[in-house]
Chain A
Amino acid sequence: AQKVTQAQTEISVVEKEDVTLDCVYETRDTTYYLFWYKQPPSGELVFLIRRNSFDEQNEISGRYSWNFQKSTSSFNFTITASQVVDSAVYFCALRKTGNQFYFGTGTSLTVIP
């Protein structure tokens, strides 16, 4: 069963637009962790944020913000005033008990200048 769903396969936005990348996860565990990674064209995945299941506070880091809602099992990622350098594939991931991570299929974001 798919544990992490990123329904948006590809998104294109014009520079300076805001964009939200959706992530829905599935788990019965009460303790779990959610992550977002960025994979730029160079190929190396870069860690963006971690959230544990007990911390539902939203997070803002510069132009990036994350909205964690346990009620809807979602952990969405918003980029404000997008820039060309934001063009990448973004992955949402879930870690339950144990050391295995479950990744979504990724959302490819293209920011058009």
Chain B
Amino acid sequence: DVKVTQSSRYLVKRTGEKVFLECVQDMDHENMFWYRQDPGLGLRLIYFSYDVKMKEKGDIPEGYSVSREKKERFSLILESASTNQTSMYLCASSLLSGGDFSYEQYFGPGTRLTVT
């Protein structure tokens, strides 16, 4: 079974703090993704990575950065947390899609971050 794990289920941070959210997958997937999920807005892509040290911006990258030093690990960094970054953060991974086939994403359990 594919396993995507996230470092914390719940996190409370103060405004201005630097926050690290870690995601690890154990199935040698090339692609990894970070989303935030907010009521009424669904899942919005923050960043994704298709290889080690490679990253691409998603729809809402402002205020976030990412790091992928190893294939299995993808970190989301909030450089200076703000209250509007209070959200559920979901990590996902998938095999690299190509040709006429697209692999599904596997999701972690999520990290509920509260910034006060």
Q: Which residues of B sit under 8 angstroms from A99, Cβ to Cβ?
A: 31, 48, 50, 94, 96-97
Chain B neighbourhood of A104, CB < 8 A: 42
Q: A43-B88, A105-B40, A105-B42 are in contact. Are A52 and B105 (CB under 8 A)?
A: no
Count residues on chain A whose CB falls below 8 Å from chain B CBs. Answer: 24
Chain B interface mostly: strand
Given contacts A43-B88, A44-B108, A47-B106, contact A101 B45 (CB under 8 A): yes
In the bound complex, residues from chain B placing their C-beta under 8 Å from that of A12 are none
User: Are the C-beta atoms of B110 and A95 separated by less than 8 Å?
Assistant: no
Q: Does A100 contact B (CB under 8 A)?
A: yes
> Across the interface, do B42 and A52 meet the contact criterion of CB distance under 8 Å?
no
With contacts defined as CB atoms under 8 Å apart, how many contacts are there between chain A and chain B in the complex?
55
Binary flags per residue of B93-116, CB closer than 8 Å to A gives 1, else 0: 010110011101111111000000
Q: Does A52 lie within 8 Å of B107, measured CB to CB?
A: no
Closest CB of chain B to A99's CB: distance in Å? Answer: 5
How many Å lie between the Cα of A106 and that of B105 in the bound state? Answer: 16
- A31: Cβ under 8 A from any B Cβ: yes
- Shortest CB distance A9–B (Å): 7
A50 adjacent to B42 (CB under 8 Å): no
Is B60 close to A, CB under 8 A?
Answer: no
- What residues of chain A have their CB less than 8 Å away from a CB belonging to chain B? 6, 9, 31, 33, 35, 37, 42-47, 50, 52, 54, 91, 95, 99-101, 103-106
The 3 closest A-B pairs by CB, nearest first: A105-B42, A33-B102, A103-B43
